[in-house]
Chains A and B, each alone.
Chain A
């Protein structure tokens, strides 16, 4: 009688071939909740959370940018500010206006004005 065969009856599977399979099934059944908890925890790792945020953040940013762009465009259309004038345009416009005033009234021509001044002195 060998030493190794002596302990066969100590194995519960010795006279019940399905014993170890049932043992494993029982453990797996009891472990189901903890395994599910671990799967969920593994899904919520830091990179996964950041990736999840970025997935929400990118469309939100794009939408905000689109709304801002739309508002700028619509505001530009409703208020039509006059075109600003350059300095040369202002000067030339004023000189043209002055010339026109002087031409319109010959009594106020520069030569007539000077004759008046000299006559008073005499």
Chain B
């Protein structure tokens, strides 16, 4: 069966077609999460932001003037909401006493090796810029091609390659001790 275009799905979703909207969700849920986690750095926040962004996007579908460029428009919504969340949290943190308990509810004893690796990767990603994190996650986690990222984020393809190159270089350096650790284990 021929894959339906974003433009077609958006037009149908505007008329309340739940099946069409469901396809859009399935198509962009990973990308939305990647963009959100690149900014918030936390799983739970990224999940909330990504889900919320889908609902906001549905409510404002008429603002998407070019439905064939839905992905770029939608990911901008995700990015803005993630940044707003960070801004709000910074303001809240500035007005509150810092919590004495660590943010990881599971505690060190319950942390699996996978969770530890995930945390290590997150820390490594913190070392690169926001746009680089976004590009690395969309490319390496979601499997988007350079051109897809360029089209959907609205930046030149060469810039995408450049960001990816420098981000990977930084991440390799950051994770080199982890690789040594893995080999030692």
Which A residues from 9 to 32 make CB contacts under 8 A with B? 9-15, 20, 23-24, 26-28, 30-32
Contacting residues, chain A, for B171 (C-beta < 8 A): 3, 6
Known: A1-B179, A3-B140, A10-B137. A23 touches B29 (CB 8 A): yes
Query: B121 near A27 (CB under 8 angstroms)?
Result: no
Q: Total interface residues on B, using CB and 8 Å?
A: 39
Q: Please, which residue of chain B has its CB at the minimum distance from the CB of A45?
A: B15
Q: Is A93 an interface residue (CB 8 A)?
A: no
* Chain A positions 34-57 with a Cβ under 8 Å from a chain B Cβ: 34-42
Residue of B nearest to A37 (CB): B16
In the A-B complex, the 8 residue pairs with the closest CB atoms: A39-B16, A38-B16, A42-B15, A9-B118, A7-B141, A27-B54, A7-B140, A4-B140
Tell me the bound Cα distance from A35 to B34 in angstroms: 26
Tell me which residues from 39 to 66 in chain B have a Cβ below 8 Å from any Cβ of chain A. Answer: 43, 47, 50-51, 54-55, 58-59
Q: Which of A4, A15, A27, A40 has the most CB of B within 10 A?
A: A27
The binding surface of chain A is classed by DSSP as helix
Bound Cα distance from A95 to B33, whole angstroms = 112
B161 at interface (Cβ–Cβ under 8 A)? no
Determine the main DSSP class of B at the interface with A. Answer: helix
Quick check: A28 and B121 within 8 Å, CB to CB?
no
Chain B contacts for A12, CB-based, 8 A: 33, 43, 47
Binding site for B on A (CB under 8 A): 1, 3-4, 6-15, 20, 23-24, 26-28, 30-32, 34-42
A35 and B55 contacting across the interface, CB-CB below 8 Å: no
- Assess A34 versus B58: contact at CB under 8 Å? Given A20-B29, A23-B29, A28-B22: yes
Let me know if B69 is at the binding interface, CB within 8 A.
Answer: no
B93 CB to closest chain A CB (Å) equals: 24
- A24 CA to B33 CA in the complex, in Å? 12
Give the interface of B toward A (CB within 8 A). 13-18, 21-22, 25-26, 29-30, 33-34, 37, 43, 47, 50-51, 54-55, 58-59, 112, 114, 117-118, 121-122, 125, 136-137, 140-141, 143, 168, 171, 175, 179
Q: How far is B21's CA from A36's CA once the two chains are assembled, in angstroms?
A: 12
Give the residues in chain A near B34, CB-CB below 8 Å.
10
Q: Considering the chains assembled together, what is the distance between the CA atoms of A23 and B37 in angstroms?
A: 15
